[in-house]
Structure 1
Amino acid sequence: MRMSKVLDSSQVDPNSIDLLNPSFYGEGDPHLVWDAMRKRAPIHWQNVEGKDGFWSVTKYEDSLRVLKDHNDFTSTRGTLLSILGVEDPAGEKQMAVTDPPKHAILRVPLQKALNPREIEKHIPRIRNEIRKLLLPMALGEPIDLATSMASISTAAAGLILNLPSEDWPLLTRLTNASIAPDDPEYLLPAGPEETMKRAHRELFAYFHDVVSDRRKSPKEDIVSILLDIEMDGERLTQGNIVSNLYSLLLGANVTTPHVPTASFLELIENDLYEDWMLNFSEYAQSGLDEALRWSSPASHFMRYAKNDVVLRGKQIKKGDAVVVWIGSANRDEDIFSNPYQFDIRRKPNKHISFGFGPHHCVGHFAAKQTLGILFEEVFTNFESIKLAATPEHLSSNFIAGIKHMQILAHPKKCAEMTLSEITLSEVN
């Protein structure tokens, strides 16, 4: 998705835009449309042929209301537009599509497994994977940053989920196909629906084998934790565990790879790279939060109204689908001054890129640690980076992403030596 600098959205008619269409996010200008909607139609209904349609929520405060209020807005029927009007089969079985209090049964043990102390154990190996992927840049070779970032994301998730490294490329490809089945790069001849179904079948079959292996040989990992969770007095079924593992992998691959690509593109195009590089120690955290706000990698989260609700004078009926556009909320002028400016010094920064309320991303600490290491390694080892080709944007109404972004870097002295260092502690 293009992170455009909105100039004038007064001529944009929100009724003429199909926010369901994945191609719009690869070819169009969503931020221009969201700007128009925030100003003139902050709660907007879109009809969908053959389905009931959905409400779009584009203002920050309204987004918080929908995401946190599980009494009026439920996750159990599905949270993504890709299954609009279809009941999610994982409802009340998978953490992402479960409401409190049942949600906590799944979330609490996983949150413990993803706490800072546990994630710290994986940091040396995550740093090593990042260095391996950045090393070609130090040798003067162009790299596809988007592809490399996707690999880093899967590697971090693979380490945390204790999945074999030889499987990471397959998991990257299948996850991308499942979240962007309309994109020409992943689209099968049978169409996007079959593309998504096949990716799901292969991912679920993969995790079925992983779970079966853990039943025979339990380990100290998240898969084994899920095997011990009880819901409604019974252990989770094989299918429920597989579904939750898929959700965790999807969550990792949604956030981590698309934050650096969108951020570095902005730094390159607006000559901001040197400022953050020279001031990284001071603005590491605020810069990372701004990168998350700027990229807003998960474009939307969907809920269904459990009751009749009025938002900004609009009557939302029980059963209506309600879509919160995260990228729009994160550029709400009422909350963020100069929202179309990438500002590493921005404080406070109340972005909701990890969601809000009960479903705030359970893996947010792991994502922020991985991203922090990535930015640190890039700024430590490279004086500058530049585009080597025009970026290609992903066709997805869920992921605000770049699928290809060729870059060249100017390495600092000793960058090759630094990046090629692999200590015994990192390997172990």
Structure 2
Amino acid sequence: MTTLTGHSASEHGKVLADPSAYADDERLHANLAWLRANEPVAWVDNPPYRPFWAITKHTDIMAIERDNTLFVSGPRPLLMPAGSDDALRAQQEAGIGLRTLVHMDDPHHRDIRKIGADWFRPKAMRDLKIRVDELAKRYVDLMRDNGPECDFVTEVAVNYPLYVILSLLGLPEADFPRMLKLTQELFGGDDAEHKRGAGGSEDILAVLMDFFTYFAALTASRRENPTGDLASAIANGTIDGQPLSDMDTVSYYVIVASAGHDTTKDAISGGLRALIDHPAELARLKADPGLLPTAIEEMIRWTTPVKEFMRTATADTEVRGVPIAAGESVYLAYASGNRDEEVFADPFRFDIGREPNKHVSFGYGVHYCLGAALARMEMTSLFGELLPRLESIELAGAPELSATTFVGGLKHLPIRYSLR
């Protein structure tokens, strides 16, 4: 088939614009493998999404991320239905639309990022580690006390990183359930179990307004009485001597509270499932705890919680000899880049000792994930606490993946286990 622009549309690429495909690993990766081998730069036209170029090779993803002047985040940083694209743009123009680090380009992106950067540097991570280790022990103890079965996602993987990130922000534990619900609704707009209402642009706007109401009050409180936490740093952050706008402030909270929690949840739960599905690797890791750092990287590669980001060309260019016109968008398929046969030896093998492991799960370049070190620390603490105490583990039902086109992973992981 052809599109109005004359590009040949890829049938295999249509899975990328189909939320249900991300809930079916076999279907998703079969199509991605075909694209890498046959059409690594593929034109995709699958309404209600606007057309885009699917970039499925690791090298091309890295090159586009590196060239953040030629390929920019605005005005289309994420894959959303056309109606949602239009609604977000209208909201931003009206000063009420979410505008996180994900949506920004330099120099504003660089200036905004600096405000929170110190809270994710090594010294801050060392200071936070006591709290992270304490929470890891709390949740493994709960597994022991509530066993021998649980839904690992809803009882452990969701709550543990949420408590970490909201502790970093300095929010009271009484507010954590509210933040969890809002986070699930924000990222669950394509999933029937988690979305608010019908999951349309009006429902997403309602979720964002709930976030805005909560964090506007937090900003006012932290400006009046700073408390030495990340929320205070954001509330009192300035650019060129001027305080952040209300929307930039709220957007900063939202990206930290939601993305910083949900992605780690997906890596933790998907990592445990990978160990269950590969018992020889689980035994290998239990026998040699020194492999934990490489095991964590492999879990992050294997799960790829952030499925994509979009970039828009600012000038006519080409990728692998394929012309891309100014104004056209490219879809960076991280899930594909992390299984690229030219970069990873036997990429469909889960290998806890894999080195090197040049995965793109945290992005690359100026948009490299601000919380990457925190995510690694959280995973290291939890698995470092769980694995030495784990005597047996198996599935107690069928795992379920969420439908998404952006951030996602397991929404249910029923397990049966024995812990000491």
- TM-score norm. by structure 2 comes to 0.89
Residue aligning to 1:317: 325
Question: Take 1:78 and 1:263, find their aligned partners in 2: how far apart are those partners?
Answer: 30
Q: Is the 8 A contact 1:92 1:98 kept in 2?
A: no
Residue aligning to 1:23: 20
Segments of 5+ residues of structure 1 without an aligned counterpart are 1-12, 416-428
Q: Is the 8 A contact 1:188 1:194 kept in 2?
A: no
Residue aligning to 2:130: 124
- Cα distance change on mapping 1:238 and 1:46 into 2, 3 Å: same
Segments of 5+ residues of structure 2 without an aligned counterpart are 1-9
After TM superposition, give the deviation of residue 234 of structure 1 in Å: 2.5
1:6-405 to 2 correspondence within 5 Å? Answer: 14-15=11-12, 17-27=14-24, 29-49=27-47, 52-82=50-80, 85-86=85-86, 88=89, 89=92, 94-139=100-145, 140-147=147-154, 148-231=156-239, 234-271=242-279, 272-280=281-289, 282-405=290-413
Question: Take 2:197 and 2:245, find their aligned partners in 1: how far apart are those partners?
Answer: 34
Question: Take 2:200 and 2:348, find their aligned partners in 1: how far apart are those partners?
Answer: 33
Question: Take 1:354 and 1:245, find their aligned partners in 2: how far apart are those partners?
Answer: 19
Q: Which amino acid aligns with 2:37?
A: K
Percent identity, aligned pairs only, is: 28
After TM superposition, give the deviation of residue 291 of structure 1 in Å: 0.8
Residue aligning to 1:420: none
Q: Is the 8 A contact 1:24 1:395 kept in 2?
A: yes
Question: Take 2:403 and 2:12, find their aligned partners in 1: how far apart are those partners?
Answer: 21
Q: Which moved more, 1:188-197 or 1:298-307?
A: 188-197
Q: Is the 8 A contact 1:94 1:244 kept in 2?
A: yes
Question: Take 1:353 and 1:320, find their aligned partners in 2: how far apart are those partners?
Answer: 24
Residue aligning to 1:5: none
Residues 134-174 of structure 1: per-residue CA shift (max 9 Å, x gap): 22332333121111211112111101111111111221121
After TM superposition, give the deviation of residue 383 of structure 1 in Å: 2.0
Q: Which amino acid aligns with 1:33?
A: N
- Secondary structure in 2 aligned to 1:19? helix
Residues 322-350 of structure 1: per-residue CA shift (max 9 Å, x gap): 11011110110100000001111111111
Residue aligning to 1:409: 417
The count of residues paired between Structure 1 and Structure 2 equals 399
After TM superposition, give the deviation of residue 255 of structure 1 in Å: 2.0
Q: Which moved more, 1:146-155 or 1:217-226?
A: 217-226
- Secondary structure in 2 aligned to 1:39? helix
Question: Take 1:288 and 1:62, find their aligned partners in 2: how far apart are those partners?
Answer: 25
Q: Is the 8 A contact 2:77 2:311 kept in 1?
A: yes
After TM superposition, give the deviation of residue 232 of structure 1 in Å: 5.4
- TM-score norm. by structure 1 comes to 0.88
After TM superposition, give the deviation of residue 92 of structure 1 in Å: 11
Question: Take 2:113 and 2:196, find their aligned partners in 1: how far apart are those partners?
Answer: 35
Residues 238-278 of structure 1: per-residue CA shift (max 9 Å, x gap): 22100111011222123211112212212212213211111
Q: Which amino acid aligns with 1:410?
A: S
Question: Take 1:55 and 1:48, find their aligned partners in 2: how far apart are those partners?
Answer: 12
- Cα distance change on mapping 1:291 and 1:35 into 2, 3 Å: same
Question: Take 1:83 and 1:239, find their aligned partners in 2: how far apart are those partners?
Answer: 23
Give the RMSD, CA atoms, in angstroms: 2.1
Residues 364-419 of structure 1: per-residue CA shift (max 9 Å, x gap): 111111111011011121122111111111011112401011112122xxx3xxxx
Q: Which amino acid aligns with 2:59?
A: E
